Structure 1
């Protein structure tokens, strides 16, 4: 190659590099994404709050600060139950919540957190990822200007804290109980008075006697809330929330304005956060239960078959009403029931059978 040609070509390459670098800086600056994220949890609350805060920080970490999330705990920007409207209106870009809080807007929302006699964690994951659940959630959320991404699960929740023993369905009559979602509707069918309260208001209402009972999550979270100071009996298993799936709900216009790669990145970070949530609850619930029993004198009791039969009667009535709400509500219900049958039967034959055999062989 002639020296003159080499210098000319090298000059062109250099010029191209300069041009690219001149364009890159402003492009990166323009690509910065800022997200105001409200939530339904108290700040630094174990699991629910800290998991949402980890997600917000992780988005910043994996993008070297290009995506910045400003996290607002319940009450810091809006009230816990105002999160939906704050994001749907576009005043904030995202929320972290349990979507069953929005069942008053459409009963279908409850199915994407948890419903009575519904899906466990592995069943929920199968339904959302591979059996049409996410598509149905997208259809429902789209009607309200939202896009919801799974991020967090607490597993099977406990039945709750009671000031008296619950030995039959009749013992639920007249009970004022904090229990949201369709589980609250079931309790109403059985003569109880369900109350929906955000987490930060439960303890004071239980201590004051404004409510007689409450469910929240499970041993790890319930210990942190100190419910043992106000109620003696701790019942399991809860029929109302067999796998409480949490979500990051985005404003739909904001979501549609992001690039495909940013959407995929957010969904990947959320999936990792979802796994971390369930792992943390599994790791910490057992030790917390031991402390509640050994250190606080909590009486752990199992709901008997008579009480569960009452729960089933109440849930049958609730589901009949839900399916008459709309074609979409009916479609969501039928899809969940199909997943519960197909996945649930296999989990029973495989996972549950193995655990039972293992524990029997080990003398557990």
Structure 2
């Protein structure tokens, strides 16, 4: 383990991925909050979401907040491909041009488990909490490492990427890769037009019909719809390396808790393997991680200690699950998680 800035790096060594490809020096960036108790059972794992680094999501970790570091030892593992953990932007030189490996959620969660066990000696997790791609990782934790996990909270996520969700992501990918900087399967320079096009496509999916109809962007101080789009979505993805974005899009599209040797593609069997308490919190107006997906999953969680479906009643679409500066949605999450942890 090496320490850099405000986070640490766990060097997993050479990791054999699900694909069979070897990934040398596969580093996992993570940040911790709070204190690990003597029993090492006050652990919350909080994986990151698409394009996010821990800087973007750690606001949820606050005394008295949704994830309270005064009670819990919170670990944020950065998902591979986000520019801090192993990603095309920092590890592509280890591979032939255009041959950067495809990394699955199974690969990511396996390394996260090693981090917990090898660095901290953790064998029990009180909660895996995740939003969006983080929620998909929470599901993978519950299915693949049921021996460790007491609770999972899946916020605006699902057990696998639905066909509808995959089509949404194809639109995002097409907008980004239409930029002339995309050559021979990778970006050779920053795709300025591609970033903007990707953001404009994403804006229509990330927020709801009601959000735009009722001009809720005005609550954040924007003067017009164009002002909102230009100052947020036009620049949102340009802070990330474009090849990193493609790597994470692949992980997202291929997300499926059953796509492994243990379950052989049988989603029902994978869901039934989860033994934790499960809280599914879809966004009521989420366009791509739709509430109906979680509604279909909950009846198949036959091995779970408890399974609760609690949609977030919000007009903020997918963003309701990461409600920075949305007080009502944040309060809803805080109350729901507090009650869930009391079970």
| TM-score for both structures, normalised by structure 1 | 0.28
The structure with the largest helix share of the pair is 1
Structure with more contact order per residue of length (Cα contacts < 8 Å, sep ≥ 6): 1
